[in-house]
Structure 1
């Protein structure tokens, strides 16, 4: 199956924290990146997710936020890396941030990209809400 989602990360389930309706699933991608997803318990059962099982995290580029300053926030997925490239468009810019061997792609407004003065080689932080992560198994 081919999908249009720009951010696709293969990993192994490190932990599942079950709640009454939803569960938190931690997926280890590499030494620097462990992605947390919040999905329904029904999805956990349907996908037969369990610790140690391989899974895929999918994140739309429009759900990836970029920060350049230290922030305290509620988002579960916050990773600091280096801007690999910025592709400038008329309205939006595509920003690629490298964290270890992972590349996160974000689509942000041109105005936001300019206000952050994003350039290749610059340190940047990727931010993704756990509820924006889709899991596949």
Structure 2
């Protein structure tokens, strides 16, 4: 599979909660990280999703927010993955932030140049990737 999204995580469905219209899909990645996605019941059915099924979780870099100090902050975003800034490529308007997660995975975020300054981002600094569950796309290979 070739795709333009920078964040593609292989994993297995570790939990599946269904509602009348949508479902919450929890994916545990091969690196041990957990991502939660909200998708329609139609997608659950079309993809044949069940607990234990191998899937890919896809997130565009532009859907990843970066936070540096979450002490005392409560967010509605279900996915907060904390790691260390591995790479920071700053352009005249935007920047790419690569956050290395403890399990070995990397997550890419596209943020403004001003945000890197305001957050004090630099290689080696702690950072958290924040992703809304509605921004996590679930794919199946079969």
Q: TM-score, normalised by structure 1?
A: 0.97
Partner secondary structure for residue 124 of structure 2: coil
Contact 1:13 1:25 in 2 (8 A): yes
CA distance in 2, matches of 1:136, 1:58: 8
Please say if 1:109 is aligned against 2:112.
Answer: yes
1:125 corresponding residue in structure 2: 128
1:136 corresponding residue in structure 2: 139
Per-residue deviation, 1:117: 1.3
Aligned residues: 137
Structure 2: unaligned runs, 5 residues or longer: none
1:40 corresponding residue in structure 2: 40
1:27 corresponding residue in structure 2: 27
CA distance in 1, matches of 2:55, 2:84: 26
Structure 1: unaligned runs, 5 residues or longer: none
Partner secondary structure for residue 3 of structure 2: coil
Per-residue deviation, 1:31: 5.8
Q: RMSD of the TM alignment (CA)?
A: 0.9
Partner secondary structure for residue 36 of structure 1: strand
CA distance in 2, matches of 1:33, 1:2: 23
4+ residue runs of structure 1 moved beyond 6 angstroms?
Answer: none
Q: How does 1:1-137 map to 2 (within 5 A)?
A: 1-30=1-30, 32-70=32-70, 71-100=73-102, 101-137=104-140
CA distance in 2, matches of 1:122, 1:81: 9
